[in-house]
Amino acid sequence: MARSEVSQPPKASVFDNMTRAKAEAYGLKIGAKVRQYKVSQDVQNKGKYKMREGTVVQLLNHGFVVQLPTHKTFFRYNLLRRREQGERVEICKV
C-alpha cells in the first residue's frame, strides 16, 4: 500500500531558509567540527578547493561562529544546505 501524500515527510528545498533549529537537527552544536570549502578564484588554480577546518564556538539566531586555526569567523546557516558564491560548509561526522 502506498503512503498518502499527507503522511509523507516534506522534501527539503534549497530555497528554504536554514534556521538554527534545522541546523541543530542536522547535528550542529557547540564543539562540533565543521569544514569550509571555498573555490579558488586564482587564474592558475581555477576550480580547485581550499579547505579549512574549525570548531563551532557559538550559535546565534542567523548563523554560527567558528574558531579556525588563526581566527574566528561567522557563517550563515544557509551555507550548510547549499553552495553560495563557490563556498559551502559541512559538519564533520565523528
Domains and CATH numbers, the chain: 20-91 (2.30.30)
Residue of 49 and 8 predicted with greater confidence:
49
> Of 62, 56, 58, 61, which is closest to residue 78 (Cα–Cα)?
62
- pTM of the model as a whole: 0.72
Residue 30 has pLDDT above 50, yes or no: yes
Give the CA diameter of the chain.
56
Residue 1 has pLDDT above 50, yes or no: no
Residue 48 has pLDDT above 80, yes or no: no
pLDDT bracket for residue 59 (50, 70, 90) = very high
pLDDT bracket for residue 9 (50, 70, 90) = very low
Residue with cell 570549502: 37
- Give the phi and the psi of residue 24 in degrees, each rounded to 5: -65, -35
